[in-house]
Copies of this chain bind each other. A is one copy, B any other.
Amino acid sequence: MIERLCVIGVGLIGGSLARALRDAGFCREVVGAGRNPAHLQKAVDLGVIDRYETDPGRAVAGADMVLVSVPLGAMAAVFSAIKGHLAGHAILTDAGSAKGGVIDAAREVFAGVPAFFVPGHPIAGTEQSGVEASFASLYQGRRVILTPVPETDVQATARVREMWEAAGADVVEMDPVHHDAVLAATSHLPHVLAYTLVESLARLGDDGEVFDYAAGGFRDFTRIASSDPVMWRDICLANGDAIQLMIEHFVADLNTLTEAIQNRDGQLLLELFTSARDARNRFVDK
């Protein structure tokens, strides 16, 4: 049970957690924080938060749980703003899509990773953003990865786990470096590919004519290219090394396939496509 949850960054991720915890009766009060009073008032009007502060330091006062769900590039500034204002019993967690950079920021701002900080990442979301897009069931059956470091208090991790489980999530723990490699593969690389594909086709110079002949598969394939550009800029900056490694891995495999096309090697093409289809059917649509 949380007495006062403070959500810094009341968008799809933070808003959906607040809704889920309210619905579950797991949280007595929700205080929102952010830079835009109009957005925050909308969150109040939607019943997502009870009240808000635009100063993160004021917002965290008295909160026993603080979730920072802002773009990765804003994490360090938020940590600085709340430093010295957290209650003695407060637990701090975040929802950043890459963990190494957030942990570094916490280490720097607090002069060592605080025991009360539990780095986390809910593997959920849509290409939508904003509190208007938030909904209580977003985390139902979804994975949340917590990446505690040796400094992290075990009780704090347990409390954050309880919170996400109350929201319906399936919580796992993982080493932050492994997390960042896995997410580079399954999320960051696909986004980079989708953004590049759309940009690449848009620049073909037919004034968008090619898109007139795109079928449903193309719509699905490029849906993630409608995601928030600021969020994805920050992810590419924060997890650049892991993403670059995955791009290299991917380009090597794409070269193999391109050579098979060039050599009209039907046997190899059939093997690659069959193997990929089987992997997808085995692992993704299982």
Contacts and interface: CB of A to CB of B under 8 A. Distances in A.
A192 to B, nearest CB: 6
A197 to B, nearest CB: 6
Contact of A143 (B124, B195, B213): B213
A211 B284 CA distance: 6
A224 B220 contact: yes
Interface of A: 73, 123-127, 142-143, 145, 182-183, 185-187, 189-204, 208-227, 229-230, 232-234, 236-237, 240, 243-244, 247, 249-251, 253-254, 257-258, 260-262, 264, 266, 269-270, 272-277, 279-285
11 contacts: A124-B215, A182-B209, A185-B201, A187-B218, A195-B257, A196-B254, A202-B283, A220-B223, A221-B223, A233-B270, A233-B273
A226 B285 contact: yes
A261 B283 contact: no
Given A197-B190, A198-B279, A127 B284 contact: no
Nearest to A223: B220
B281 A226 contact: yes
A212 to B, nearest CB: 7
Contacts of A203: 253
A181 B92 CA distance: 53
A68 to B, nearest CB: 20
B195 A225 contact: no
A197 B193 CA distance: 9
Contact of A270 (B143, B213, B223, B229): B229
Copies held by the complex: 2
| Most chain B CB inside 10 Å of its own CB: which residue of A185, A201, A244, A285 | A201
A105 to B, nearest CB: 15
Contacts of A266: 73, 233-234, 237
Contact of A285 (B124, B145, B219): B219
B264 A222 contact: no
Contacts of A223: 217, 220-221
B240 A264 contact: yes
Nearest to A208: B283
A1 to B, nearest CB: 28
A280 B257 CA distance: 27
A285 B143 CA distance: 29
B186 A201 contact: yes
B200 A253 contact: yes
Given A217-B224, A266-B237, A261 B243 contact: yes
B258 A244 contact: yes
